[in-house]
Structures are given as structure tokens and as C-alpha cells.
């Protein structure tokens, strides 16, 4: 079984998230999604609309997602890849080259983002309503 792992905040789920998850799942048989904890988001200076538990619940209901785990810090990626025996690490191409250090442990794939959609754009659009 080929396992794929990806990471993100996944707040305000939108078609861009679904596209990334669908394409990530197509790279293997089993998709693990690591979701930023509320505490980790705070350290990154991010504020989510939904709590970690709510975001986890939403992701678990998406047909492409097989398992959801918690991301507590930047450094856990190597241990997650080895712990979950991930064959492929996937991120959006706005992170290109940032996770190449994982190539020692698995294949690293950067997927293009869906144009004209992002959580930041949605939040900004809502401010202007």
C-alpha cells in the first residue's frame, strides 16, 4: 500500500483544499492529513475560524482522506513520515523546495494550487462584504 502524507491548517474548507486532497490521494492508496493544532497555529501567528477538533472532523468526512493526525510543530515531519511509513509527501507549490530535506525519507511532490481561491482570499472577501 502506497501512503501519502500532506500538511495544512485546512480552515474554511474550499474547492482548492478539495483539489489538493483529491490529487494527493491519486498519488497513492492511503492519504494521511496532518492538521495544524490550535497551539501551533498560534505560534505561526495564524487564527483559524474553526478549532482543531472541528477541522479534523470536517477532514475526516472527505472521501479522499483516510486518516487525520495533529501537527504540533514544524519539526515533526520527518518523524511522521517514518512513523506512518509515508511513501510520498505532498504540499502546495507555494512551498516549493522548502521540504526537499524529506527526499531522504520519501518522494516529495509539490502540487499547483487552484487559481483564484485561498482561505486568505475568502477571509479578505468577507471583510469587504
Catalytic residue IDs: 44, 46
DSSP H stretches of helix in the chain: 15-25, 38-43, 52-60, 76-83, 119-127
31: how many CB neighbours lie within 10 A of its CB?
Answer: 25
Report the chain's terminal Cα–Cα distance, integer Å.
46
Nearest residue to 39 via CA among 83, 5, 76, 84 = 76
How many angstroms separate the CA atoms of 102 and 108, rounded? 7
Q: Return the DSSP state at 28.
A: S
Amino acid at each position: 500500500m502506497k501512503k501519502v502524507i500532506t500538511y495544512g491548517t485546512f480552515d474554511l474548507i474550499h474547492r482548492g483544499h478539495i483539489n489538493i486532497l483529491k490529487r494527493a490521494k491519486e498519488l497513492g492508496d492511503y492519504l494521511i492529513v496532518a492538521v495544524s493544532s490550535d497551539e501551533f497555529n498560534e505560534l505561526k501567528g495564524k487564527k483559524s475560524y474553526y478549532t482543531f477538533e472541528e477541522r479534523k472532523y470536517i477532514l475526516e468526512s472527505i472521501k479522499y482522506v483516510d486518516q487525520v493526525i495533529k501537527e504540533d510543530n514544524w519539526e515533526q515531519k520527518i518523524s511522521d513520515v517514518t512513523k506512518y511509513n509515508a511513501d510520498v509527501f505532498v504540499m502546495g507549490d507555494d512551498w516549493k523546495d522548502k521540504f526537499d530535506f524529506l527526499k531522504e525519507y520519501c518522494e516529495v511532490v509539490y502540487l499547483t494550487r487552484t487559481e483564484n481561491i485561498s482561505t486568505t482570499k475568502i477571509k479578505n472577501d468577507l471583510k469587504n462584504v
